[in-house]
Chains A and B, each alone.
Chain A
Amino acid sequence: MPASIEIEQQKSGARLFCESLVNEGVDTIFGYPGGAVLHIYDELVNFKDSMTHILARHEQGAVHMAEGYAKATGRVGVALVTSGPGATNTVTGLANAYMDSTPLVVVSGQVPTHLIGTDGFQEIDIVGITRSCTKYNYLVQSAEEIPEIMREAFYIAASGRPGPVLIDIPKDLTAQKAAGNLPEKLNIPGYEPHSYSREDLVENAVEKILAARSPIFYVGGGIIHSGGTAELVELVERLSVPVTITLMGLSCFPSAHPNSLGMLGMHGTYAANMAISEADLIVAIGVRFDDRVTGNLKKFAPNAEIIHVDIDESSIDKNVKTHISLIGNAKDVMRQMLDSLSKRSAPARERLGAWWETIDAWKRYAPLSYEPHPDIIRPQFLCEEISRLTDGEAIISTDVGQHQMWLAQYYRFKHPRYFLTSGGLGTMGYGFPAALGAKIAYPHRQVIAFVGDGGFQMTMQELATAVQYRANLKVIVMNNGFLGMVRQWQEVFYNNNYSEVDMQIQPDFVKLAESFGAVGLRADHPAKLGQVLEEGFATDNVVVFDIVVSQEENVYPMVPPGAGLKEMILR
Chain B
Amino acid sequence: MTHHITVEMVNRFGELARIVNLISGRGFNIEKLLIDASDRPDISVAKLSLAGDKSKVEVLVKQIKRQVRVTEARILNESEVESDNFFSAARLNK
A residues at B contact (CB < 8 Å): 127-128, 131-132, 135-137, 139, 156, 188-191, 312-314, 316-318
State the 8 A-B residue pairs at the shortest beta-carbon distance, nearest first: A314-B62, A190-B71, A136-B68, A314-B66, A131-B21, A314-B63, A190-B70, A191-B68
Of the listed stretches B9-17, B45-53, B79-87, chain A binds: B9-17
Q: How far, in angstroms, from A137 to B22 measured CA to CA in the complex?
A: 14
Instruction: Give the total number of A-B pairs whose CB atoms are below 8 A apart.
Output: 47
> What is the chain A residue whose CB lies nearest that of B68?
A136
Given A127-B14, A189-B43, A190-B9, A135–B59 Cβ distance below 8 Å? no
Q: How far, in angstroms, from A190 to B71 measured CA to CA in the complex?
A: 4
A-B residue pairs in contact (CB < 8 Å), sample of 25: A127-B14, A128-B17, A131-B21, A132-B22, A135-B68, A136-B68, A137-B14, A139-B14, A188-B69, A189-B10, A189-B42, A189-B69, A189-B71, A190-B8, A190-B9, A190-B10, A190-B68, A190-B69, A190-B72, A191-B69, A312-B66, A313-B62, A313-B66, A314-B65, A318-B62
A388 to nearest B CB, angstroms? 43
B66 touches A131 (CB 8 A): no
Main secondary structure of the interface of B (DSSP, over half): mixed
- For B10, the chain A residues whose CB sits under 8 A away are 189-190
Judge whether B6 is part of the interface by a CB distance below 8 angstroms.
no
Q: How far, in angstroms, from A533 to B24 measured CA to CA in the complex?
A: 50
Judge whether B18 is part of the interface by a CB distance below 8 angstroms.
yes
Chain B contact residue count (CB 8 A cutoff): 24
A131 touches B69 (CB 8 A): no
> What is the chain A residue whose CB lies nearest that of B22?
A132
> What is the chain A residue whose CB lies nearest that of B58?
A317
A313 touches B65 (CB 8 A): yes
Interface residues of B in 26-81 (CB under 8 A from A): 42-43, 58-59, 62-63, 65-72
- For B25, the chain A residues whose CB sits under 8 A away are 132
- For B43, the chain A residues whose CB sits under 8 A away are 189
- For A132, the chain B residues whose CB sits under 8 A away are 21-22, 25
Residue from B9, B17, B42, B71 in contact with A131 in the complex, judged by beta carbons closer than 8 Å? B17
- For A189, the chain B residues whose CB sits under 8 A away are 10, 42-43, 69, 71
Given A131-B18, A189-B10, A189-B42, A314–B59 Cβ distance below 8 Å? yes
Q: How far, in angstroms, from A480 to B8 measured CA to CA in the complex?
A: 53
Q: How far, in angstroms, from A318 to B65 measured CA to CA in the complex?
A: 14
B48 to nearest A CB, angstroms? 17
- For A313, the chain B residues whose CB sits under 8 A away are 62, 65-66
- For B67, the chain A residues whose CB sits under 8 A away are 190
> What is the chain B residue whose CB lies nearest that of A139?
B14
Q: How far, in angstroms, from A190 to B69 measured CA to CA in the complex?
A: 5
- For A316, the chain B residues whose CB sits under 8 A away are 62
B24 to nearest A CB, angstroms? 10
Q: How far, in angstroms, from A314 to B65 measured CA to CA in the complex?
A: 8
Q: How far, in angstroms, from A132 to B72 measured CA to CA in the complex?
A: 19
- For B63, the chain A residues whose CB sits under 8 A away are 314
- For A191, the chain B residues whose CB sits under 8 A away are 68-69
Q: How far, in angstroms, from A190 to B59 measured CA to CA in the complex?
A: 18
A156 touches B21 (CB 8 A): no
Q: How far, in angstroms, from A156 to B66 measured CA to CA in the complex?
A: 12
Q: How far, in angstroms, from A317 to B63 measured CA to CA in the complex?
A: 12
> What is the chain A residue whose CB lies nearest that of B21?
A131
- For A312, the chain B residues whose CB sits under 8 A away are 66
- For B72, the chain A residues whose CB sits under 8 A away are 190
B68 touches A156 (CB 8 A): yes
B57 to nearest A CB, angstroms? 13
Q: How far, in angstroms, from A318 to B17 measured CA to CA in the complex?
A: 23
A459 to nearest B CB, angstroms? 27
> What is the chain B residue whose CB lies nearest that of A156?
B68
B33 to nearest A CB, angstroms? 17
> What is the chain A residue whose CB lies nearest that of B71?
A190
B43 to nearest A CB, angstroms? 7
- For B22, the chain A residues whose CB sits under 8 A away are 132
Q: How far, in angstroms, from A188 to B22 measured CA to CA in the complex?
A: 20
- For B21, the chain A residues whose CB sits under 8 A away are 131-132
Q: How far, in angstroms, from A127 to B18 measured CA to CA in the complex?
A: 10
6 further A-B pairs in the complex, CB-CB below 8 A; given A131-B17, A132-B21, A136-B68: A132-B22, A136-B69, A139-B14, A189-B42, A189-B69, A314-B63
Q: How far, in angstroms, from A312 to B65 measured CA to CA in the complex?
A: 11
Q: How far, in angstroms, from A301 to B69 measured CA to CA in the complex?
A: 36
> What is the chain B residue whose CB lies nearest that of A128?
B17
Q: How far, in angstroms, from A139 to B18 measured CA to CA in the complex?
A: 13
Q: How far, in angstroms, from A190 to B18 measured CA to CA in the complex?
A: 14
Given A132-B22, A314-B63, A188–B68 Cβ distance below 8 Å? yes
Q: How far, in angstroms, from A457 to B58 measured CA to CA in the complex?
A: 42
- For A136, the chain B residues whose CB sits under 8 A away are 68-69
Q: How far, in angstroms, from A131 to B22 measured CA to CA in the complex?
A: 8
- For A188, the chain B residues whose CB sits under 8 A away are 68-69
> What is the chain A residue whose CB lies nearest that of B18?
A131
Q: How far, in angstroms, from A128 to B67 measured CA to CA in the complex?
A: 15
Q: How far, in angstroms, from A137 to B14 measured CA to CA in the complex?
A: 9
B10 to nearest A CB, angstroms? 6
- For A139, the chain B residues whose CB sits under 8 A away are 13-14
